[in-house]
């Protein structure tokens, strides 16, 4: 009895790269034709292009060698170079040589490759068809079968008591995000439209809580940050009520008389002794404007470089802020201290606060 080798039950594992399947040798079969011809339509043109490409590649080679030679030959910071100006000249020379040789090498290589592709390779458009995105019917059947099996094994379909109590258990968790919405706090209502400034409320220095008389800010170009007296521990109030006082020289201040929707928002009448008060909160997204250029009268916001013209109603002259810094009306108390004549007549802070 002849013994046959046992046939493997499944696919056979192959270690390494499988050898190509043996092809049936058919002596009569036509040799396989390429999909397109590699021969150029104009042989002379192709020959010229070939020479040009070769010349560019040789140029790229020479420039590449020049780059290496420049790197090795043109030393920078060597002990033979005297300190001082010559060092700079050596760096310039080296950079020039390295940059030029590398640029020529890359340019020649790129140009040669482009000419190669455009003039030597066949001009053929090839479209690769997309394969079907839909799974094969047998795969979909297998998925349905596996899903049904999994559901049966998990007992979800067989034990309605467990299924229903599980749904019951997860219901409150599904509602939890709605409950957490409450933590966003109450709506601001109209809070963002007002600050604690009111008529007669004195301005005190941020650091020492010292009330100020006009004589305390006598130097033109001075800028000082003040807060409403008595609110130094009220962070909510201070978040909106920070104010900068700026002193101008005679004739430097030109606050325009402006109205917004019928409300007066800026005027020279709200200044005292060439001292003007503006909100310290940037009208872009609310950073404190902290920098003041005395010579140009520019107030700068450090966050996104919005720039306001302090001499001209704090109008925006640069940057993303969309409106001027609100002006605070000033008055003098009976003792001669600087105080607010009222609250701001427009919302301070980012423009979106106006909608609060
Ligand atoms: S917050 Fe002032 S420029 Fe953006």
Specify the DSSP element, H or E, that contains 265: strand 263-266
Q: Which has more pLDDT, 234 or 80? A: 234
Nearest alpha-carbon partner for 36 in 119, 125, 117, 114: 125
Lowest mean pLDDT among 10-24, 30-44, 107-121, 283-297: 10-24
User: Does position 46 have pLDDT exceeding 80, yes or no?
Assistant: yes
How many Å lie between the centroid of ligand 1 and the Cα of residue 288? 8
- What is the C-alpha to C-alpha distance for residues 208 and 219, in angstroms, rounded to an integer? 19
Residues 221 and 107 in one domain: no
C-beta 287 within 6 A of ligand 1: yes
CA 314 to chain centre: 28
C-beta 332 within 6 A of ligand 1: no
C-beta 321 within 6 A of ligand 1: yes
Give tens-digit pLDDT for 209-237: 999 999 999 899 999 999 999 999 998 89
Query: Cα dihedral sign for 233, 239, 240, 244?
Result: positive
Domain-embedded: residue 133: no
- Expressed as residue numbers, the domain containing 228 is 192-355
Domain boundary among 73, 92, 119: 119
What is the rounded average pLDDT of the residues 40-52? 86
Residues 239 and 343 in one domain: yes
How many Å lie between the centroid of ligand 1 and the Cα of residue 301? 6
Residues 231 and 96 in one domain: no
- All residues at 6 or more sequence positions from 274 whose CB lies less than 8 Å from its CB, including other chains: 220, 247, 248, 249, 250, 252, 253
> What are the C-alpha distances in Å from 158 to residues 151, 166, 171?
9, 14, 21
Domain-embedded: residue 153: no
Domain-embedded: residue 184: no
Domain boundary among 85, 102, 119: 119
How many structural domains does the chain have? 2
- All residues at 6 or more sequence positions from 311 whose CB lies less than 8 Å from its CB, including other chains: 248, 252, 253, 254, 297
Domain boundary among 119, 140, 158: 119
Lowest mean pLDDT among 24-28, 137-141, 238-242, 264-268: 24-28
User: Does position 104 have pLDDT exceeding 80, yes or no?
Assistant: yes
Residues 103 and 202 in one domain: no
Which CATH number covers residue 341?
Answer: 2.102.10.10
Give tens-digit pLDDT for 283-336: 999 999 989 998 999 999 999 999 999 999 999 999 999 999 999 999 999 999
Place of tokens 């872009």: 284
Q: Which has more pLDDT, 178 or 304? A: 304
Answer whether 313's CB lies under 8 Å from 246's CB: no
Residues 220 and 100 in one domain: no
């Amino acid at each position: 009895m002849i013994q046959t080798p046992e046939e493997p039950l499944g696919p056979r594992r192959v270690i390494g790269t499988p050898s190509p399947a043996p092809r049936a040798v058919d002596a009569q079969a036509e040799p396989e034709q390429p999909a397109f011809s590699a021969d150029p339509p104009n042989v002379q043109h192709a020959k010229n292009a070939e020479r040009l490409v070769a010349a560019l590649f040789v140029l790229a080679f020479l420039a590449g060698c020049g780059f290496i030679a420049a790197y090795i030959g043109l030393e920078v910071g060597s002990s033979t170079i005297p300190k001082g100006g010559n060092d700079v000249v050596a760096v310039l020379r080296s950079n020039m040589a390295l940059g030029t040789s590398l640029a020529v090498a890359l340019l020649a290589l790129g140009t040669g490759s482009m000419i190669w592709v455009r003039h030597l390779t066949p001009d053929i458009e090839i479209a690769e068809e997309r394969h079907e995105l839909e799974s094969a019917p047998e795969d979909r059947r297998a998925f349905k079968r596996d899903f049904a099996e999994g559901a049966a094994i998990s007992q979800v379909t067989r034990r309605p008591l467990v299924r229903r109590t599980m749904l019951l258990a997860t219901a409150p968790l599904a509602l939890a995000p709605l409950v957490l919405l409450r933590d966003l706090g109450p709506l601001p209502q109209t809070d963002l439209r007002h600050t604690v400034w009111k008529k007669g409320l004195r301005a005190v220095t941020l650091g020492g809580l010292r009330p100020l008389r006009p004589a305390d800010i006598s130097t033109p170009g001075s800028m000082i940050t003040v807060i409403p007296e008595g609110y130094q521990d009220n962070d909510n109030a201070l978040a909106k009520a920070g104010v900068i006082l700026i002193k101008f020289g005679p004739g430097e201040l030109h606050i325009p008389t402006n109205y917004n929707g019928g409300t007066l928002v800026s005027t020279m009448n709200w200044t005292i002794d060439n001292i003007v008060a503006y909100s310290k909160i940037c009208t872009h997204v609310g950073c404190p404007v902290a920098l003041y250029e005395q010579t140009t009268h520019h107030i700068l916001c450090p966050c996104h470089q919005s720039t306001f013209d302090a001499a001209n109603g704090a109008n925006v002259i640069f940057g993303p802020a969309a409106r001027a810094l609100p002006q605070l009306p000033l008055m003098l108390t009976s003792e001669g201290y600087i105080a607010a004549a009222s609250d701001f007549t427009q919302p301070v802070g980012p423009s979106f606060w106006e909608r609060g």
